[in-house]
C-alpha cells in the first residue's frame, strides 16, 4: 500500500471513530482441547447426527491457530487464547467451533461504493481489536465524548473470538457497479420442497459471523460493528446460537443437537490442505480473482418440531437419523466413528440403515462433502402456538454452492425422514472474502 492509500484508509477509520490497525504479535500454541478436536475431525462430512444438510451441526472442526493472550494475568489458558484476525484465510471457518455464535446480516443504506469501502476499512480495524481483546478507538476515557467502545467486554479475555465477513448476492445488483464481478453460480438458493421461509430470517447485503467461547464477547462484537455501520448499513436480522461448553463436557465429545443425537460426528479433515482446496477454498483457477482464498457460506435456520419429536419412540428416532442415539454409531455398529455401511442388512435382507434416513440421504455415494459449522438456537416460545421456537442454525462452507450444498439439500428436502420433525424458516448465502493482510481491509480485492 502506498503512502497516499494508507493516509486515505486512516482517514476513513478516523471518520468511524476508530484508529488504524497496528501490528499485532501472536505466539501460536494448540491447547489440549484443540488437539482432541484435531484427532476427531476426520472422515466423511455428515450432517445432523453425522448425516445431512437439513439439520446439521458442525463437528468439532480443527486447525484454528490458538494462542494464549492473558497467561501473564493468571487467566485460564483456554479462555485467554486469541485467534489471529489477519491471515491468508478468514478465521471462523477452519477454526475449532467455539461455544457461542452471534450471526448478523446487514443491508446497506448507501449507494456509494466509496461508503462501502470506508465501512469495510473501519470494520477491519475494529475486528482486529475485538478479536485481540482490546478496546475499540481512543475515546473511551474522555468524559465529554461518547465512548468509541460500548464497554461490556472491558476486562474480558478474547475468548477465541473470530469474525468472518461475507457478501450476499444482492451486493452485486446495480447499486455499486459490481455486477460484472459476481461469480457465475453465486445466487440466492432455489426453493426446496417443504420450505416455510420467513423474510425476517433471509438474505442480506453483508454478513458477520461472530463466534467466541463467551456469549458477551460475541454479542459485544456484533453490537460494535452495527454501531460503526450507522449511516452506511443497518441490521437486517441476527441469530444467536450455542453448543455444549468445554466446562460441561471436559472430554470434548461430539456435541448433541436439541433432538438428543450427536451432531457432527464426521467432517472433512481441516488439517488436510488438499481436501480443503477441493472442498472449501476457491483458487485462482476457479474464475473469480477476488475470491481466491475465500469460500461460500450457506445458512439455514431450521426450527425443530420438538413437541412432536418428544412423543416418538426411540426406535423411530434412531431410524430417522440412521444412528444410535446413545453412542452416535451407525445402526448396526458400535463405534460412533464407524463408516456408514448402507449395504448392511438384517437376516431378512432389510437394510439396517433406512435408505430414507437422514444419514443415508446426506451421505449419498459419499462423493460430495461440505464443511459444517452449525449451532443450536433457542428463541423462547412461539406466541402463536405456545411451542418452543428452537432448532439449528445450520452453517456450511463450500467452494461451490450449487454442486455441494444445493445438490445435497435437494435430495434431503424430498425424502428425508427428518422432515417430519423440522421446518426451514430462514435462508441466506454469502461469499466469504479471502483473509486480509495487515494494512489491507476485508473485501479490498472486490471493492478496491
Structural domains counted in the chain: 1
C-alpha cell at 332: 448396526
Q: Among all chains, which residue has been given the C-alpha cell 476457479? A: 286
**Of the given ranges (260-274, 333-347, 348-362), which has the lowest mean pLDDT?**
260-274
pLDDT digit string, tens, across residues 370-428: 999 999 999 999 999 999 999 999 999 999 999 999 999 999 999 999 999 999 999 99
**Of the given ranges (47-61, 75-89, 190-204), which has the lowest mean pLDDT?**
47-61
pLDDT digit string, tens, across residues 69-95: 333 444 455 445 899 999 999 999 999
Q: What is the pLDDT of residue 4?
A: 43
Distances in Å between the Cα of 340 and the Cα atoms of 232, 299, 335, 414, 447 are 49, 26, 11, 21, 44
Q: What mean pLDDT do residues 325-340 have?
A: 95
Query: Domain containing 164: what range?
Result: 3-447
Rounded to 10 deg, the angle between the 3-15 and 113-132 helix axes is 80
In whole angstroms, give the CA distance from residue 38 to residue 213.
Answer: 18
Q: What is the pLDDT of residue 263?
A: 87
- As to burial, measured by CB atoms within 10 angstroms (0-12 exposed, 13-18 middle, 19+ buried), residue 205 is buried
C-alpha cell at 284: 485462482
Of 301 and 263, which is predicted with more confidence?
A: 301
Q: What is the pLDDT of residue 14?
A: 45
Q: What is the pLDDT of residue 284?
A: 86
pTM over 0.75: yes
**161: Cα within 13 Å, side-chain hemisphere:** 29
Amino acid at each position: 500500500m502506498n503512502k497516499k492509500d494508507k493516509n486515505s484508509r486512516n482517514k476513513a477509520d478516523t471518520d468511524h471513530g476508530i484508529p488504524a490497525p497496528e501490528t499485532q504479535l501472536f505466539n501460536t500454541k494448540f491447547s489440549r482441547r484443540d488437539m482432541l478436536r484435531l484427532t476427531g475431525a476426520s472422515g466423511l462430512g455428515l450432517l445432523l447426527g453425522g448425516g445431512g444438510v437439513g439439520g446439521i451441526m458442525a463437528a468439532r472442526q480443527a486447525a484454528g491457530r490458538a494462542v494464549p493472550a492473558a497467561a501473564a494475568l493468571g487467566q485460564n489458558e483456554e479462555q485467554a487464547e486469541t485467534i489471529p484476525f489477519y491471515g491468508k484465510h478468514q478465521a471462523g471457518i477452519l477454526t475449532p467451533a467455539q461455544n457461542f455464535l452471534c450471526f448478523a446480516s446487514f443491508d446497506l443504506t448507501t449507494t456509494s461504493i466509496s461508503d462501502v469501502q470506508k465501512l469495510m476499512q473501519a470494520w477491519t480495524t475494529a475486528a482486529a481489536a475485538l478479536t485481540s481483546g482490546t478496546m475499540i478507538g481512543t475515546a473511551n476515557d474522555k468524559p465529554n465524548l461518547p465512548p468509541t467502545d460500548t464497554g461490556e467486554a472491558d476486562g474480558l479475555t478474547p475468548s477465541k473470538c473470530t469474525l468472518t465477513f461475507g457478501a450476499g448476492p444482492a451486493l452485486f445488483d446495480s447499486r455499486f457497479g459490481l455486477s460484472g464481478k459476481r461469480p457465475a453460480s453465486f445466487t440466492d438458493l432455489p426453493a426446496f420442497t417443504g420450505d416455510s421461509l420467513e423474510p425476517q430470517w433471509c438474505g442480506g447485503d453483508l454478513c458477520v459471523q461472530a463466534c467466541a467461547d463467551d456469549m458477551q464477547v460475541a454479542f459485544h462484537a456484533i453490537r460494535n460493528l452495527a454501531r460503526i455501520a450507522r449511516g452506511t448499513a443497518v441490521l437486517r436480522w441476527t441469530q444467536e446460537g450455542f453448543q455444549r461448553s468445554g466446562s460441561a463436557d471436559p472430554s470434548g465429545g461430539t456435541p448433541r443437537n436439541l433432538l438428543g443425537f450427536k451432531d457432527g460426528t464426521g467432517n472433512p479433515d481441516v488439517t488436510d490442505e488438499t481436501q480443503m482446496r477441493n472442498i472449501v477454498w476457491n483458487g485462482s483457477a476457479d474464475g473469480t480473482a477476488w475470491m481466491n482464498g475465500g469460500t461460500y457460506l450457506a445458512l439455514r435456520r431450521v426450527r425443530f418440531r420438538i413437541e412432536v419429536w418428544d412423543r416418538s419412540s426411540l426406535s423411530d428416532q434412531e431410524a430417522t437419523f440412521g444412528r444410535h442415539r446413545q453412542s452416535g454409531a451407525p445402526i448396526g455398529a458400535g463405534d460412533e466413528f464407524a463408516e456408514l455401511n448402507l449395504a448392511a442388512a438384517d437376516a431378512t435382507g432389510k437394510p439396517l440403515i433406512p435408505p430414507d434416513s437422514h444419514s443415508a440421504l446426506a451421505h449419498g455415494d459419499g462423493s460430495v462433502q461440505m464443511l459444517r459449522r452449525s449451532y443450536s438456537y433457542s428463541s423462547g416460545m412461539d406466541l402463536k402456538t405456545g411451542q418452543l421456537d428452537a432448532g439449528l442454525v445450520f452453517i456450511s462452507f463450500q467452494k461451490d454452492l450449487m454442486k455441494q450444498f444445493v445438490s445435497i439439500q435437494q435430495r434431503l428436502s424430498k425424502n428425508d425422514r427428518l422432515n417430519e420433525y423440522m421446518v426451514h424458516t430462514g435462508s441466506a448465502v454469502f461469499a466469504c472474502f479471502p483473509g486480509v493482510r495487515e494494512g489491507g481491509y476485508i473485501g479490498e480485492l472486490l471493492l478496491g
